A and B are shown apart, each in its own frame.
Chain A
């Protein structure tokens, strides 16, 4: 389109720096000894080791899924280090003791570890490589009975809760990557909202992969008891390496009667360079169980990073009148590949689900929406509405839609719509005729396209997402 836009194509990835920090890295490879090592390093109880070994044995008998619409060289699972942690000599008791190098890293990423920081009002749990380094506002949350800490801490301090819910939504043998995660997960966030409590602030986890050659396998568990509600945010970045790194996370959400969980993700892993070299393989299993009556689980995701994304945040709507929502924007550029979508499994009566998915592909990238809406015979009066729109920018990219609709109850009402379009010349002409520059016009049109999803994001995230998107696609039009 214009030279200015062209020059913006190769905008560097902002978060691509490496923090020089001494790490404790486990030797590469995966076997029972490594799992025992991870378990021992984390001083875990026996039942968790059994859980891991069980998962490992199941994983060994499984094969990698091949149905997804992505292509990558075979991953050598023995060439990954399954444990990497910044070295710390003693247990941290306050934020002031966090390694200043780490603090600077997160300062640079714009994640406030200081409770006084500008983005106040959001409690953050920060995961650096494999371990949680800091959790803010712990005390304030504890006052209302909320437990918000790293999952390793939860294993020690609240074993009964972890034992009860871990693996209850995503069983250890659920799929290849979930089994791998269950075997080797090192840390993650744990959040428990007791009965009747509305979480006073947004909770957030920030993931950062730092060490080259390591994989990140974190586990998040969010439990909202009867009548509780929480809004949870997740962000991720990684440094720029020429090698591909594996990120296989598992997130489990459990909502009991009348509980409400809103889980938002802004994923900005390193996506590889303009030739498709390097980048994170983001193979994530996210699932929410709307267990109680009138419960609600809402997923919002803005997927802009990662060389390959394989991710289907799902809702199992078991409670009567429960609600599942999925709002997604997936942006791919250069050689990125995304196969993402959702599953809505309707089991309870009068369960409702909404799916809004927006895919934007540019460069040589491919993005696929893959979704399942299943209405089982017990789901009387279930209702689903799905909308998947794709936008293509350039003629080298692809957009694909694979919606599976399975209905076994005639009282259900299921609707699915999808469309594919590009930014129209007429739209651009109209805006430029009104004095709006080409670049800004494109950004406006794209933001309009994604508006329904961005509206679902909490304020700070929405601002970040909008910025991220315009940054990401700048220069790709023309």
Chain B
């Protein structure tokens, strides 16, 4: 932490200056996008608690952590360091180490090479498709972290699923953090063309317990009738800062299902924006936050119903222990044209200790009259009657509490369509509950 930046402006300047653009020169087609992002960063500042969107999450510690952008592969990662994260269900795997593509660790089995790969390689064959979509969904103005990520854009997982193609095995994007006191900028870009189908696993892991910053952006574009399942696991180190933006756009009758699980990081923030931009599109968004210690996990989602006859369902659950702090802000927007919208949202929060804290704000903004929209929020502890029932069946109070907490989380975990990942997460949940 040798470079301390006093304020947000200095901090952003420091980051921009310490980025070496040399290695990105070859990607001239994207230099415009990067230049625009740099300009945008220059007009912005870090958000503070006076900004409504950051009311509950104090991100100001970042200015004290002027971690330079990570350099490529300064520490070589061995395959056996990562084996624990591999999923037996799939051999489609792209590995990024501190935001940089690690070709030797990545394997693509059942898909033609032009479909999945790192951005520089993909640019050779699919430049026009990429240029017309990349950076078009994740807003950079008004979102300084998304702008920073775009400004530093070089390596990026690119997945373009052609028409009427079903990728059977899930694609695992493994973003590994290895270095301390660096910032990394992973990026992911998915186009699911008409009638295609894909399961994507975005897994953020670390093999260090040090402090670092991850600033990630994902863009997912679904063409008509496309079907994307997006599983997102954030299990960064307990000292890490994780800032994530994900923008999803749905065309006619497409379906997007997402399960995001937030376990790690000292401070994490996940912004998910889903645009239902054509009729009959559908999204299901589930989330689980499981935190303890002094962690802060903030999830902001915005589901934008732009066209009629769209459906969205959302369930977000938080389990908060010790002095951790969970934040959820779920906005559902129904635009004037979006008649016959059907939307439901629920935020359920479980406080395990009397110092844990939850701020939740399920928000509806509705401009169309013929809609069915409902949301609900609950905050509480485990139901004493449920505990009593289990005790009457011979369980100890402790195991009754564990069982109920596990069941609360398992509800979301079981929506993940990959068995081995489910088991891994279940194990993590059970371990975390040792203190319950």
Contacts and interface: CB of A to CB of B under 8 A. Distances in A.
Nearest to B331: A402
B29 interface: no
Nearest to A67: B52
Interface in A350-405: 375, 377, 390, 392-405
Contacts of A399: 364, 366
Nearest to A415: B378
Interface in A411-440: 411-422
A398 B359 contact: no
Interface of A: 67, 375, 377, 390, 392-422
A420 B349 CA distance: 23
Greatest chain A CB density within 10 A among B351, B363, B364, B375 is at: B364
Given A393-B369, A395-B339, A410-B352, A404 B359 contact: yes
20 contacts: A375-B379, A392-B368, A393-B369, A400-B363, A400-B364, A401-B362, A401-B365, A404-B359, A410-B352, A410-B356, A410-B381, A414-B380, A415-B377, A416-B362, A416-B378, A418-B362, A418-B376, A419-B374, A420-B373, A421-B372
A405 B365 contact: no
Given A400-B364, A407-B349, A409-B354, A392 B378 contact: no
A114 B76 CA distance: 92
Which secondary structure characterizes the binding site on chain B? strand
Given A67-B52, A392-B368, A414 B359 contact: no
Nearest to B367: A398
A411 B370 CA distance: 39
Nearest to A424: B370
B374 A407 contact: no
Given A402-B361, A404-B361, A410-B356, 5 more contacts: A390-B364, A392-B369, A403-B362, A408-B355, A410-B353
A401 B369 CA distance: 15
Given A412-B379, A415-B376, A407 B358 contact: yes
B309 to A, nearest CB: 15
B371 interface: yes
Contact of A416 (B336, B353, B376): B376
B362 A420 contact: no
A393 to B, nearest CB: 7
Greatest chain A CB density within 10 A among B352, B355, B358 is at: B358
B214 interface: no
A371 to B, nearest CB: 10
Contacts of A416: 362, 375-378
A1 to B, nearest CB: 14
Contact of B369 (A394, A418, A419): A394
B360 A405 contact: yes
B357 interface: yes
B368 A408 contact: no
A415 B378 CA distance: 4
A422 B369 contact: yes
Contacts of B375: 401, 416-419
Nearest to B371: A420
A407 B366 contact: no
A400 B366 contact: yes
A406 B379 CA distance: 9
Contacts of A418: 362, 364, 374-376
Nearest to A408: B357
Contact of A413 (B374, B376, B380): B380
A121 B398 CA distance: 60
Contact of A403 (B339, B356, B358, B363): B363
Contacts of B368: 392, 395
A421 B357 CA distance: 32
A349 B165 CA distance: 60
A42 B340 CA distance: 58
A406 B350 CA distance: 13
B355 A395 contact: no
B365 A400 contact: yes
Contacts of A414: 377-380
Contact of A377 (B349, B354, B361, B373): B354
Contacts of A377: 354-355
Interface in B295-332: none
A401 B359 CA distance: 16
Contacts of A405: 358-361, 377, 379
B379 A407 contact: yes
A67 B376 CA distance: 23
B245 to A, nearest CB: 22
Contacts of B364: 390, 399-401, 418, 420
Contacts of A409: 351, 354
